[in-house]
Structure 1
Amino acid sequence: MWADLARVLRLWAPRRASLVGALLVSMGSALSGVALLALAGQGVAAGLAAGGIFGLAALVWVRPLVLLRPMLRWGERMASHAAAFRALADTRVWFFRRLAERMPGGIGLRGSGDLLSRVIGDVDALDRLYLGGILPAGAGLAVLVAVLALLMGEPWLMLLVGLPLALALVLPLVLAPAATRAAQRAADHRGGLRAAVADPLAGLEDTLAANAEPRAMERLRTADRELMHSQRSLVRRSAWAGAAGGFLAQLAVLAALAWGLAGGTATAGMVVLALFLSVAAAEALGLMPRAGAALASAAAGARRLFEAADTAPPVEEPAAPAPLPASNELVLQGVRFGWRQDAPVLDGLNLTLREGERVAILGPSGAGKSTLAALLTRLAAPEAGTIRLGGTDISQLPAAELRTRIVVLSQQARLFDDTIAANLRLAAPGAPDAALWRALVKAGIADLVRSLPEGLETRCGEGGARFSGGEARRFALARALLPPAGILILDEPTTGLDAAAERAFLATLATACEGRSLLLITHRLTGDEPLDRVWRLAGGRLLPATA
């Protein structure tokens, strides 16, 4: 638990100045409350000693603090929340980057609903580390030190008042580890609930076609019951901790009162001061044990984040990267690879793709065509053999730089629910409109975009729902053509298209791929493709074939 929370604080190091600044404001706000009641207590004691209303003139010193304290409370809220929100935004960016490095081929066995829960719910839980744990602890410590310092002249009174307050401050550290397990269960069940909602909605057509709504609803109800049960357990712990904190804070007040009634050695003024200080400390320390639940929730969120973020990447980056070569010639020699060790998909594969050459690789589903595309873009690494770009082994090239030379249009290429321009700029964020139009012209879809009232600002809909399958594939092709990559890999680019749309799409490749090398990976040819060579993938190797 503590190691995970310490790691979160290290992630927040760039925000250290704002986080520490907000903590100091919070401590100042808490101390202003102590000072307010300490001066009030002194005023009351002076009034009692003077035996009349005129003795209460000492309360005039309270008035500046009456104005200062709400200002400090406002500043604390503004500063602390601003610092926490910036730190959480940094954490989301860090987590997304880690996922992109570790799951470049897709989410794999991790459900989208669970990942959504981690990147939203678990990151949000981290604000409790700062707002619900560190800030109250800092304020509580400052208050405890101030109370002990003011009562130092009466050791026994200081002990009677200070001991319950110290226990209230330490209690969260004692309760947090046990509460972390309950928070972990609640976080897991929250992820399960999101998955139970997201999965049937993502495949709603299949769910409805199979009449699976009752099963989806039952899964949702089960996930909801599990989450409610785990949340009740966490709430019970928090309630007991809050009750314990309130009891300890009140115990300090009762201890000061009992000392005065018992006729202790302290003066009446010191007893009154102790009473007022105990009341002041109760606000800062009375709810401190609930910080244990906050720390537990933050620790559970951190553990789930790091569990996903620490997954080993499929391909390690080179320790000493080589510079990108000038040539775009691809050479594969003796490449062997399998997703399982006992079942190689490619075995002894050799291939040369010269600059500007257009080559097709044919093969049935499962023959390893998409695997070859994954190897060429370093989404996977060969078990044996070499893959060279311009004479340099691609294992020595940073993946991000390699992908500036090799662009893949996969069979799962997706249009997002954004504008046409935004979907295209996914491949080249700074591309001007003129570059977008050139890519659209090459992909044979520019006329359609010009006919739309909003042009490039037309929204595509979820998964490109506004357009036909053939139109969506052309937009995806335009996106692949936008960056100036020397090699274009088309992996089953006509998946889901009818015969006419397929022929029309493939006929555009001569213009679309002008000046680039083309590797077309498909299960069959139509005869409309502009190709220099055709290979057939069988038994993990490439064999010559006729186009």
Structure 2
Amino acid sequence: MLRDVLRILGLWRGHAGWLAAGVLVAVLSALAGLALLVLAARVIAGAVAAGHADAALLAGLGVAALVWLRPVMLFRPLARYVERLVTHEATFRALAGMRVWFFRRLAERLPTGLGLRRAGDLLGRLVSDVEALDGLYLRVIVPGAAALAVVLAMALLVGAAEPGLAAILALPLAAALALPVLLAPAAARAGEGVARAQGALRSAVVEPLTGIEDTLAANAEGRAAARVAAEGAALAAAQQRLARRGAWGGAAGALLTQAALLGALAWALAAAEHAVASALLAVFLAVAAAESLGLMPRAGASLAAAAAGARRLFEAADTPAPVPEPAEPAAPPTGHALRLDGVTFAWAPDRPPVFEGLDLEVPAGARVALLGPSGAGKSTLAALLLKFAAPQAGTITLGGVDLARIPSAELRRRVAWLTQDARLFDDSIAANLRLAAPEATEADLWRALDRARIGDLVRALPEGLETPCGEAGSRFSGGQARRLALARTLLSPAPVLILDEPAAGLDADTERAFLETLDEATQGRTVILILHRLLGVERPTRILRLIGGRAIPATG
């Protein structure tokens, strides 16, 4: 648990200024509250000083306390307000950075799968597990630092005059301060149970809704609802276990702070006349400590929840990348010819190989049609060429440079892929197109749309390039969505295009028209056209069939 928490803090280094500022303001706010009660104790001590040998001194202290009381009273709420602003700003910045870090780690690892195939589980890690980390800062670090400052200040204030009284106050309060760390290991197990149950519940809700047509067609909505109810009950039980531990911690903390107060009261009742001021001060300080330390035991549950969320995040983020980046990158290739020599590849050691000794050469500017049935390895070849996977044997080169020595970002500037299920996102047409070229001008966008033969349709839309595409491109028909996806691919400056079943899901006439568009739109680039069959409109310079893990020239 500690290792995960320390790693989170390491990832937050870029926001150290904001985080430290939040802790500092929280400490000042807590000390201001302590100062208020110290001044109040001085005032009361001065008021009851009549007949005491040191009456004049105590009365003078009371007058001085009254002078300082008003500015401290004004500073205290201001400090609390600034504390809320700064600590929450620090938290939002840290969590936003955490999400970006996690997204990037996932993006490097998802092409070959993380074992997170349940959408709810992945969503839970990206949202809820990251959000759980706010408790690490807002409910553990910030209040912990403030409480520590209060305990130390109390020990110094009282200890200078009455060391024994300082011990009576400090010992139970120090124990309350240590409770979160003592309770966290047991609470961590309950926190992990809550995190797992949340992921299971999200999966139970998201999966049947994602495939709602199939769910309804199979009359499975009742079973889906029963599963949601079962997972909801499991989550409630896990949350109850975690809350129970937090409640026990809160009760223990309250007892310890009350023990400090009772000890201070006992000392005050037994105090000699000369110790009246110290006794009153101790009582007021014990009251002040209750505010700062009362919530600390519950911080153990927050620490446990944050540690559980961190562990789930790191479990996914630390999955080995399918293709590691080269330690010593090669110079960017100057040519764009592709060559595969003796490539052997299997998706897993216990699965049969997709390729065994595959040899393939695609000269720069060539137009190769790669045919084969489903499962022949056509899309696997595209994944290898994009470095979403790496061969177990053999080499793949681009422009004579081994792909293993080319950084992924550099390679993907030279090789673009139109996938079988190219997705349009729920954003404008312009935003979807600019995924391939963020700096593209409107003229560039229209040029790509026209080359994909979809420009006239977009011009006829009232909002033009700003037209929302809808979720998964629902605003457009299948053929229109494929042309928009093609326009996005054409917008890329990559000299090598891999078009993976580019007309998938289209009817025969739309498919033929779309493939005719490809011939014109991809002129001047190297094209690998992955198809089940040829219609006669593709005009490849070379036709190969993938059979038994090898590329064989097509005949007839």
TM over 0.5: yes
Asked whether the equivalents of residues 157 and 266 of structure 1 are also in contact (C-alpha less than 8 Å), the reply is no
> What CA deviation, in whole Å up to 9, does each residue of 1:452-505 have, x standing for no partner?
111111111111111111111111111111111011001111111111111011
Structure 2 counterpart of 1:175: 183
Residue aligned with 1:348, SS: strand
Q: SS of the residue aligned with 1:364? A: coil
Q: What is the CA deviation profile of residues 221-269 of structure 1, one whole-angstrom value per residue up to 9, with x for unaligned ones?
A: 1111111000011111111111111111111111111122234696111
CA displacement 1:147-169 (0-9 Å, x = unmatched): 00011121211111111111111
Cα distance, 1:106–1:528 mapped onto 2, change above 3 Å: farther
The size of the alignment, in residue pairs, is 547
Note the C-alpha offset of 1:197. Answer: 1.2
1:442 to 443, 451, 467: 451
Q: Deviations over 1:202-236 (max 9, x none)?
A: 11111112221111111111111111000011111
How do residues 167-206 of structure 1 correspond to structure 2 at under 5 angstroms? 167-206=175-214
- Name the residue aligned to 2:268: 260
Question: In structure 2, what residue type is equivalent to 1:287?
Answer: L
Q: Distance in 1 between matches of 2:267 and 2:82?
A: 37
Q: Distance in 1 between matches of 2:114 and 2:6?
A: 28
Measured in 1, the distance between the counterparts of 2:372 and 2:533 equals: 7
Q: Which one of 243, 247, 253 corresponds to residue 251 of structure 2?
A: 243
- Structure 2 counterpart of 1:133: 140
Does the alignment pair 1:511 with 2:520? yes
What is the CA–CA distance in structure 2 between the aligned matches of 1:191 and 1:380, rounded to whole Å?
28
Q: Distance in 1 between matches of 2:251 and 2:402?
A: 65
Q: Secondary structure at the match of 1:467?
A: coil
Aligned with 2:238 (options 226, 230, 233): 230
Distance between the aligned counterparts of 1:334 and 1:242, measured in 2?
A: 66
Q: Which secondary structure state, in structure 1, belongs to the residue aligned with residue 499 of structure 2? A: strand
Q: Is the 8 A contact 1:427 1:479 kept in 2?
A: yes
Separation (CA, whole Å) in 2 of partners of 1:367 and 1:266: 94
Q: Distance in 2 between matches of 1:115 and 1:219?
A: 19
* Matches of 1:396 and 1:385, distance apart in 2: 14
CA distance in 2, matches of 1:264, 1:534: 104
> Structure 1's 463 and 105: CA in aligned 2 closer, same or farther, altered over 3 A?
farther
Q: Using the alignment, how far apart are the partners of 2:412 and 2:263 within structure 1?
A: 71
Q: 1:244–1:481: structure 2 CA closer, same or farther, 3 Å change rule?
A: same
Alpha-carbon distance in 2 for matches of 1:505, 1:211: 38
Question: Structure 1 residue 61: deviation in Å?
Answer: 2.5
- Residue 454 in structure 1 maps to residue 460 in structure 2: no
Q: Which residue matches 2:341?
A: 333
Is this contact kept in 1: 2:114–2:319, CA < 8 A?
A: no
* Secondary structure class of the residue paired with 1:104: helix
- Residue 130 of structure 2 is matched in structure 1 by 123
SS at match of 2:48: helix
Structure 1's unaligned 5+ residue stretches are none
* Partner deviation per Cα, 1:13-34 (whole Å, 9 max, x = no partner): 0111111111111101101111
SS of 1:267's partner is: helix
With over 3 angstroms needed to count, the CA separation of the structure-2 counterparts of 1:266 and 1:219, relative to structure 1, is farther
Q: Which residue of 2 is the match for residue 50 of structure 1?
A: 50
- What's the offset of the Cα at 1:106? 5.6
Tell me whether 201-210 or 312-321 shows the greater mean CA deviation.
Answer: 201-210
> CA-to-partner distance for each residue in 1:123-148, whole Å, 9 max, x for gaps?
11111111100001100010000100
Aligned with 1:87: secondary structure? helix
Distance 2:151 2:365 in 1: 75
What is the CA–CA distance in structure 1 between the aligned matches of 2:112 and 2:174, rounded to whole Å?
52
Deviation at 1:340, TM superposition (A): 3.0
1:164 matched to which residue of 2?
172
What percent identity do the matched residue pairs reach?
59
Q: Residues 506 and 105 of structure 1: is their aligned pair in 2 closer, same or farther, counting only changes over 3 Å?
A: farther
Tell me the CA shift for residue 109 of structure 1: 4.2
**What secondary structure, in the 3-state scheme, does the structure 1 residue paired with 2:335 have?**
coil
- Contact 2:91–2:134 (Cα < 8 Å) also in 1: yes
Q: Distance in 2 between matches of 1:229 and 1:280?
A: 36
User: Among residues 149, 156, 168, which one is paired with 1:149 in the alignment?
Assistant: 156
Q: CA–CA distance in 2 between the matches of 1:107 and 1:134?
A: 32
Question: Are 2:114 and 2:316, in contact at CA under 8 Å, matched by a contact in 1?
Answer: no
How far did 1:175 drift?
A: 0.4
Q: Which amino acid aligns with 1:488?
A: L
5 Å matches for 1:253-402?
Answer: 253-263=261-271, 267-341=275-349, 342-402=351-411
Contact 1:165–1:248 at 8 Å: present in 2 too? Answer: yes
Q: Distance in 1 between matches of 2:173 and 2:434?
A: 58
Q: Distance in 1 between matches of 2:96 and 2:46?
A: 52
Q: Is the 8 A contact 1:331 1:389 kept in 2?
A: yes
Alpha-carbon contact 2:369-2:528 (below 8 Å) kept: yes
Asked if the contact 2:341–2:357 (Cα under 8 Å) also holds between the matched residues in 1, the reply is yes
1:383-403: CA deviations, max 9, x gaps? 111111011111110011101
Structure 1 residues 95 and 409 mapped into 2: Cα distance closer, same or farther (>3 Å)?
same
- Which residue identity lines up with residue 121 of structure 1 in the other structure? S
Q: TM-score, normalised by structure 2?
A: 0.96
Provide structure 2 residue ranges, at least 5 long, that are not aligned to the other structure.
none
Equivalent residue number for residue 550 of structure 2:
541
Relative distance call for 1:340 and 1:19 in structure 2 (3 A) is closer
- TM-superposed CA distance for 1:107, in Å, is 5.8
1:64 deviates by 1.2
Where 1:408 maps in the other structure, the secondary structure is strand
**DSSP-derived class of the 1:49 partner:** coil
Would the aligned equivalents of 1:260 and 1:266 in 2 still touch at CA under 8 Å? no
2:101 matches 1:94: yes
Q: Is contact 1:509-1:530 (8 Å) kept?
A: no
